[in-house]
C-alpha cells in the first residue's frame, strides 16, 4: 500500500491514509493514455458542418449562355462546383460518425496510469470534511484556494463519491474547478484537470468500482 497525508478543509494535515497500489502505483503508459485521450476527444465531436451539393443549391436550372458559337465549354447550370455560388464537391454531409471505443481493460489501465502519474507529480490531494461545508461558493473557493496557492496551476478536479448537490452548486462558478462523481472519471479530465482532489469517501468508492 501507498501512504499519503489527509488534509482538513483548512489545509492542515489531520492524518494518513493508505492508497491502493493498483491505482496509485501502476505502471505509467504514455501511449495508452494518449489513446484514451484521443478516444475521449473524438467522442465529443459532433458532425455539424454540412455543405450543399449541386443538386441542393437553389439556382436556376436554365442554361445561362448559349451552347454554341461562344467558344466556351457547354455548361448547363450555374450550380456546378466550379462556379462561385455553386454546390460543393465532396464536402461534409453532417452525418460523419466520430465515435470511437476503447476496451474496458485498456480504459481502466489508462485511468490508473493517469492517476499514478498525477500522484508522482504531487498533484493528488486527499481532503476530509468537505461534505460538512455549508455549500457556499465563497467557502468552497477558500478551501480549494488554500491548496492551489501553493501550486503552479489554478486548475483543479474535485472527485466526489456521487453527485452532491450543495458541493456542485458551491463549486460550479469557481474558475478552473471541475467537479465530477467517481463514476464518470476519465483519463482526459485527470490529465487536464490540474490538481486532483479526492474525498476519503470518493477514494473508497473509486476503489470499489475499479475492482468490479
Domain boundary assignment for the chain: 2-45+98-210, 47-96
Query: Which residues, 6 or more positions from 208, have their beta carbon under 8 angstroms from its beta carbon?
Result: none
pTM over cut 0.85: no
Phi, psi of 198 (to 5 degrees): -115, 135
Q: What is the pLDDT along the chain (212 residues), one digit of tens a residue?
A: 788 899 988 888 888 888 888 888 889 999 999 999 999 999 998 888 899 998 899 887 788 888 888 888 888 888 889 888 899 999 988 888 889 999 989 999 999 999 999 999 989 999 988 888 878 888 888 888 888 876 656 789 999 988 888 888 888 888 889 999 998 899 999 999 889 999 888 888 888 877 76
Distances (CA, A) of 115 to 6, 7, 10, 101, 121: 17, 19, 24, 21, 10
CA distance 21 to 3: 9
Which of 29, 30, 24, 3 has its CA nearest to residue 15? 3
CATH of 2-45+98-210, one of 3.40.50.2300, 3.40.1370.10, 3.40.640.10, 3.30.450.20: 3.40.1370.10
CA distance 212 to 203: 15
Do residues 113 and 28 touch, judged by C-beta distance below 8 A? yes
pLDDT for residue 153: 66
Do residues 47 and 137 touch, judged by C-beta distance below 8 A? no
pLDDT for residue 209: 78
Query: Which residues, 6 or more positions from 96, have their beta carbon under 8 angstroms from its beta carbon?
Result: 47
Amino acid at each position: 500500500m501507498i501512504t499519503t497525508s489527509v488534509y482538513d478543509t483548512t489545509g492542515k494535515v489531520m492524518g494518513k491514509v493508505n492508497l491502493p497500489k493498483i491505482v496509485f502505483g501502476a505502471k505509467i503508459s504514455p501511449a495508452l493514455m494518449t489513446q484514451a485521450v484521443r478516444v475521449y476527444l473524438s467522442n465529443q465531436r459532433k458532425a455539424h458542418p454540412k455543405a450543399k451539393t449541386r443538386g441542393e443549391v437553389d439556382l436556376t436550372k436554365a442554361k445561362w449562355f448559349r451552347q454554341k458559337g461562344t467558344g466556351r465549354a457547354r455548361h448547363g447550370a450555374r450550380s456546378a462546383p466550379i462556379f462561385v455560388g455553386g454546390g460543393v464537391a465532396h464536402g461534409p454531409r453532417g452525418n460523419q460518425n466520430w465515435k470511437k471505443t476503447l476496451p474496458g481493460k485498456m480504459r481502466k489501465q489508462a485511468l490508473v496510469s493517469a492517476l499514478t502519474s498525477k500522484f508522482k507529480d504531487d498533484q493528488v490531494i486527499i481532503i476530509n470534511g468537505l461534505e460538512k461545508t455549508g455549500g457556499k461558493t465563497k467557502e468552497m473557493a477558500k478551501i480549494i484556494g488554500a491548496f492551489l496557492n501553493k501550486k503552479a496551476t489554478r486548475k483543479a478536479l474535485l472527485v466526489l463519491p456521487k453527485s452532491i448537490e450543495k458541493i456542485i452548486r458551491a463549486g460550479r462558478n469557481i474558475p478552473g474547478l471541475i467537479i465530477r462523481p467517481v463514476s464518470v472519471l476519465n483519463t482526459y479530465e485527470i490529465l487536464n484537470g490540474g490538481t486532483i482532489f479526492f474525498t476519503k469517501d470518493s477514494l473508497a468508492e473509486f476503489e470499489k468500482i475499479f475492482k468490479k
